[in-house]
Amino acid sequence: MNAAGRVLHHWAAALLLASALLLMGAAGDQIGQRFDRLGHNLMCECGCGQILLECNHVGCSTSEQMRKELKEALARGDNDEVILAGFVSKYGPAVLAAPTTTGFNRVAWIMPVVIFLAALTTVVLVVRAWKRRGPKEPPQGGSGGEVTEMDDFRRRAREETAL
């Protein structure tokens, strides 16, 4: 092989190596994105009530173990549903940061909105009914000359507060 052929061969090998590294980096970045997405869909089970990737307890062995399990599942190539199902089977449904939108869990998403709308409708109907009723008419006394008890209280209040 002559000098030009060797240079071309080296360039081809370098291009092939760069392409392989680029593809590996893209795959690693994709796994990193999945790790972030799935880690934010899971709760830490140490009792802190925080998202798995945001558990800030120093030396929290639970979050470290759960992160390790998540990385292992991603390295095996499991899809997201299988990974989440595995965590649910091991830790229970409380490990999910948000309830799923299937089956009975759909009620957890729908009922707060339904209850709010029903309460709002009830308030609007009650306020309309109160507005239609209008103010009550004061009771009419027998003759115009009678002094009612309320008029007596008003007169006494004016006398006692006069300076």
Half-sphere exposure of 79 (CA within 13 A, CB side): 1
For residue 63, the enclosing domain spans 27-98
Say yes or no to pLDDT of 135 above 60: yes
Q: What is the pLDDT of residues 41-50, one digit of tens each?
A: 899 888 888 8
- Note whether 35 and 49 are same-domain residues: yes
Structure confidence at residue 103 as a pLDDT band (50, 70, 90): confident
The verdict on residue 17 lying in a domain is: no
Residues 76 and 113 in one domain: no
**Mean pLDDT for the chain overall:** 80
Same domain? For 82 and 113 the reply is no
Question: What letter represents residue 78's amino acid?
Answer: D
Within this chain, do residues 74 and 113 fall inside the same structural domain, yes or no?
no
Residues 91 and 108 in one domain: no
- 99, burial (CB in 10 Å: exposed 0-12, middle 13-18, buried 19+): middle
> Are residues 59 and 122 located together in one domain of the fold?
no
Sign of CA dihedral 127, 132, 135, 141: negative
Say how far apart CA 114 and CA 120 lie, in whole Å: 10
Q: Is the pTM of this model over 0.85?
A: no
Q: How many domains does the chain have?
A: 2
pLDDT of residue 143 exceeding 80, the answer is no
**Are 112 and 93 found together in one domain?**
no
Examine residue 52 and state whether it is found in any structural domain, yes or no.
Answer: yes
For residue 83, with 0-12 CB atoms within 10 Å meaning exposed, 13-18 middle and 19 or more buried, which class applies? buried
Q: Return the CATH number at 35.
A: 1.10.8.640
Evaluate whether 60 touches 48 at the Cβ level (below 8 Å): yes
What tens digit of pLDDT does each residue of 53-77 get? 888 877 788 888 898 999 999 998 8
Q: What is the pLDDT confidence band of residue 19, given thresholds at 50, 70 and 90?
A: low
Enter the tokens of residue 65. 């173990």
* Whether 93 and 39 share a structural domain: yes
- Pick the more confident residue, 144 or 15: 15
| Residue at 15 is within a domain | no
